[in-house]
Structure 1
Amino acid sequence: MKLNNECVRELLLYLEKLPSKTAQLPFAKIQIDGFSEDEIKFTGSILVKSGFVEGVSATSLEDTIPNYIFQSITLKGYNFLNNIRSPEVWSKTKVALSHLENVSIDIISTVSSKVLNHLIDKGMGY
């Protein structure tokens, strides 16, 4: 399965809005418009494995895609989310990367940080 970067952003924004007492939520139970259960489970497993969120495995023998129970967003996850939170930064990041077929989350983070820094510099008159 291919990682959907839109799903990465939307899932992190969704998880951030959860009240802390509901933070024990299986990715399989999350519904986000425009994304299938499999996309959300796959994206959630990538976010856990890459250290953007903490979670525990809830994968059963019947699962074809790993399933995790979301626990919290890590500092690394919040740093990434804060870089891509702004629709303007996200849009410009996607444009900057549009000529590439696939990019890693690390590349998205680097490019979005550069876009954000450029907008800050521009706003400060540099």
Structure 2
Amino acid sequence: MRRDPDLIRKLMLRLEELPIRRGGVVSIVPDDETEIVEGYTPAEIEYHLRQIDMAGFIIGDRDGRPAGGISFREFTPAGHDFLDAVRTPETWAKTKTAASRAGGFTLEILKDAAKAIARGELHKLGLAL
């Protein structure tokens, strides 16, 4: 299965919206009607949830991992950085364009490209870093 950066972004945004009590953990199962991202199959969602987990973007409960899904407690700093870098649709579109010009992507490249685009926007505002 090919990795789909749009699905990864959508899933990360969905994870961010989950109401998790302090110290709580949520089990995410891709065939649960409430967790489906429109236009994607449960198999695609499961694969991409695991990619998010393996990329080190989230912290869950390894012992309490549901079959065919993930457990989610919180984002790691890398997960927050990725999500903050690709949050706006405008930055995300520019990021995907930059990655396609480079001939491919990794999650790290996407995050770095989005951060560079954000830095460019700050520079245009006279807030160079």
Whether the 8 Å contact between 2:57 and 2:80 is mirrored in structure 1 is yes
Equivalent of 2:37 in 28, 32, 51: 32
Structure 2 residue aligned with 1:102? 104
2:49 counterpart of 1:49: no
> Structure 2: how far apart are the matches of 1:120 and 1:106?
21
- Note the C-alpha offset of 1:8: 0.7
Structure 1 residue aligned with 2:87? 85
- Note the C-alpha offset of 1:102: 3.0
AA at the equivalent of 2:36 = Q
CA deviations on 1:69-123 (whole Å, 9 max, x unpaired) are: 2232222101110000011111111111223453110110111110110011112
2:78 counterpart of 1:76: yes
Q: TM-score, normalised by structure 2?
A: 0.82
Q: TM-score, normalised by structure 1?
A: 0.84
SS of residue in 2 equivalent to 1:98: helix
Structure 2 residue aligned with 1:58? 66
CA deviations on 1:22-41 (whole Å, 9 max, x unpaired) are: 84122323211122211111
Q: Give % identity.
A: 25
Q: Which runs of 5+ in 1 are unaligned?
A: 60-65
Q: How many pairs were matched up?
A: 120
Q: CA RMSD in A?
A: 1.9
> Structure 2: how far apart are the matches of 1:76 and 1:125?
24
Q: Which runs of 5+ in 2 are unaligned?
A: none
AA at the equivalent of 1:19 = P
SS of residue in 2 equivalent to 1:13: helix
Whether the 8 Å contact between 2:50 and 2:69 is mirrored in structure 1 is yes
> Structure 1: how far apart are the matches of 2:127 and 2:59?
39
Structure 2 residue aligned with 1:112? 114
